[in-house]
Amino acid sequence: MKRLLATTGALALSALPLSAQNFDDPEEFARQQEQLQAEPEGPEGQPWLQHIGGEMVETADLGIEAPATVCFSNAGVNNPWRVVGFTNMNQELANHDSIGEFIHVDAEGSDDKQIADIDDLLAGGECDVMIVSPNTTAALTPAVERACEAMPVIVFDRGVNTDCPVTFVHPVGGYGFGIQGAEFIAENVEEGSDVLMLRILPGVDVLETRYSAGRRILEEAGMNIVGAEFTDGDNAQTKSIVEDYLQRGNIDAVWMDAGATAVAAIEAFEDSGYDIPVFVGEDQQDFLRKWQDEGMTAIAPTYPTYQWRTAIIAAARVIEGEPLPGPEWVLPQPAITQENLAEYVNPAMPPLHYAMCGCDEMENYPEAWGGN
C-alpha cells in the first residue's frame, strides 16, 4: 500500500501532459481577436443569418428535393445551454416548408453512443440531410466521414477533423470569449489587481481556449492572478471556493470560463459581507438580473445559442439549392455590456435561460423556452 501511495504521488506530482493539444495557439488567438472586431455580412439585427468573412458554397448540384427529411444527431441536451439551443432549433423548423420530417437522436453525452446513432440513421436510409452536433471532435470524425459519403452533412458547435461537411456553423470561438471578458477586467481594475479565475473542467477544447486567451490578456495587463480553480460547474462548490479565497485574501475581479455558476460566486461575496467585485459572467438570465439589481460592474461574453437556428437554416438552404457560407460559417459573437444589458434582462424568463438566443421574435416566445 505504501509503495502504491508513493508511486501514485510521484505520478501525480510529475503531472506532465503527455501529448497536450495546443489550446494556446497565437495564430488562432489573433484571428479570433480580429473576427470580434469585424463587421459581419448579412441582415442587420439578425446575427443568426450573418457571417464573418469566408466564402460561399453552392448547393444547387446536391440535387435534393423538397420536402426532405433532415436527421439530427445530437451530442445531448444535458445542460441548460443545449436545452435552449434545442428549443431554438425546434422552433426554427416551423419557418421552413422545405423540411418535411425532422428526426432527432440524442447520444446523452457519449461518443460511443453518438457513433452508433449516426450509423443507425445511415442504416435506416430515411435521411436526406444530416445535422451533427459532435460530442467530441476527434471521436466523431470517422462517423461524420461515413455520413458525408451518403448525404450532405452540416456540423455545428464543435467541429470535426475533416472538411467533408457542407459547412461547419460556429460562433467566433473560445479565444474570443476569453478575450472579451479579460479585456473588460483589464479596463476596469488597476494594474496589479487580484483576479480569481474560475473554470468548469479541464480538457474541454472550447473551455481551454477561453482560459488560455483570458490568462494571456490578464497577464499582459499585469494582473495578479490569485488562483485558477475548477468548480465542476457546481454552484455549492463554486461558492465554497470563493468563500475560502475571501478568507485568505483580497479579490478585485472574477473571471469565469462559463457563467452557469456566476450567481453562486457573487453570493459568496454577499454572504461574507464583501462588495461585489468586477465580474465576468455569461448571458444567463439569473446573472443578468443580479447584475442589474445590484448595479454591478460586469460583462457577459456569450457563446450564442442562436447557432442552433443557423444549423436548420443551413439545412434548408441545402435542400432549396441556395448558396450558403461555407466550408465554415462563422457567426458573430456579441457580448452583453452595461449599454445593452436592459435589452436582454427579462424577468419572465427562467433563471438558466441564455439571453443571446436570437429567439425573442419567434412565434412561440417565451412559452416554448419556459417563460411566462
**Does 112 help bind other proteins (rule: CB under 8 A)?**
yes
In angstroms, what is the minimal distance from the CB of 264 to other proteins? 5
Nearer to other proteins, 80 or 327 (CB): 80
Binding other proteins by CB under 8 A: which of 198, 206, 264, 280?
A: 264
From residue 229 to residue 248, the character string flagging contacts with other proteins as x (rule: CB under 8 A) and all else as - is -x--xxxx-xxxx-xx--xx
Q: How far is the CB of 262 from other proteins (least distance, A)?
A: 11
Q: Residue 117: left if φ>0, alpha if ψ -120 to 50, beta else—which one?
A: alpha
Q: How far apart are alpha carbons 70 and 54 in whole angstroms? A: 25
Q: How far apart are CA 238 and CA 232, in angstroms?
A: 8
Nearest alpha-carbon partner for 300 in 339, 330, 268: 339
Q: How far is the CB of 84 from other proteins (least distance, A)?
A: 8
> Which residue in 31, 113, 327, 360 binds other proteins (CB under 8 A)?
113
262: left (phi over 0), alpha (psi -120 to 50) or beta: alpha
Q: Does 11 bind other proteins (CB under 8 A)?
A: yes
Q: Helix, strand, or coil here: 74?
A: strand
User: How many helices (H) and strands (E) are present in the chain, helices listed first?
Assistant: 12, 13
Q: Which of 68, 50, 205, 36 is nearest to 134 (CA)?
A: 205
Residue of the chain from 83, 179, 189, 213 that contacts other proteins (CB under 8 A): 83
Q: How many residues bind other proteins (CB under 8 A)?
A: 79
Binding residues among 275-334 for other proteins as defined by CB under 8 A: 286
Closest contact distance (angstroms) between CB of 33 and other proteins is 24
> CA 193 to CA 218: how far, in whole Å?
10
Cβ of residue 1: shortest distance to other proteins, in angstroms?
A: 7
Judged by CB under 8 A, the residue of 267, 320, 322, 360 near other proteins is: 267
Segment 46-75, which members bind other proteins (CB under 8 A)? none
Residue 226 sits at φ, ψ, to 5 deg, of -80, -20
